[in-house]
Amino acid sequence: MTAYRGTNYHGFQIQSNALTVQEVLQKSVSKVLNEKVLITGCSRTDTGVHANQYCFNVHTESNITAKGFVRGVNGHLPDDISILSCEDVPLDFHARFDCKGKEYIYKIHCSESKNPFAPDLMLHYRRKLDFYAIKKAAGYFTGTHDFASFCADCTNVSTTVRTIHSLEIENYGDTVIVLVKGDGFLYNMIRIIVGTLLDVSEGRIIPDDIPEILDAKNRMRAGRTAMAHGLYLNRVFYDEKDLLA
């Protein structure tokens, strides 16, 4: 399990023309294992998106211990990527395909004044949020729906139907956190949901419009796409009981 601050990276998945989290991890892991390896990640994350908990797996001939792996790889990683834990798994384990669901959080700094300590870690939103309206709108997203209206690019998926188990909005002073847990998410789905909730707060969309927007299956009907730097992959679930808890 790893965590990373995505500010300096063009997402997780390796690219030929930009620095990514996967590239940095693979180089560090290869040095420690003394063999060239390919790591398999649990998800793709966009440029600037962060992860509090990200799972990847790697096949190796090394007999290094889990503790040794964590210490060794962390010794080669930059400060914005960290190995949190490591464990042995069956040979057929796949970090992406064995995943039962994920939890994302989106952080918003609601204040006229910017937060100088987190300009790349939270969306700075200067307006006052209408919590009654956005919480009412949020309730329409839970359950199983076709989320085509909340997908930036649906061409590479076989279905746009997803299940959101919970969508909660929490307020801690100037910090607002949108917490979303589901069985899977489409490209930019969380960011479009958050952007739509912001449009609800501003009165551009009314809460009771959400079912109609879902039924439309049309990206143009939903709201804006919130900025990437407020988004975090928060938890990854490999046990369905934990996902539904």
Q: Are strands 50-54 and 231-237 parallel, antiparallel or unpaired?
A: parallel
Nearest Cα neighbor of 53 from 82, 25, 27, 30 is 82
> What letters, b where the CB count within 10 A reaches 16 and e where it falls short, cover 142-163?
beebebbbbbeebeeeeebebe
Phi, psi (deg, nearest 5) at residue 236: -125, 135
Q: Is the dihedral of CA 64, 68, 70, 75 positive or negative?
A: negative
Of the residues 46, 183, 199, 209, only one is catalytic, namely: 46
Provide the token pair at 55. Answer: 């799972």
Annotation marks residue 209 as catalytic:
no
- The C-alpha atoms of residue 166 and residue 185 are separated, in whole angstroms, by 13
Q: Are strands 81-83 and 40-41 parallel, antiparallel or unpaired?
A: unpaired
- The C-alpha atoms of residue 94 and residue 180 are separated, in whole angstroms, by 23
Which amino acid is present at 124? H
Active site members: 46
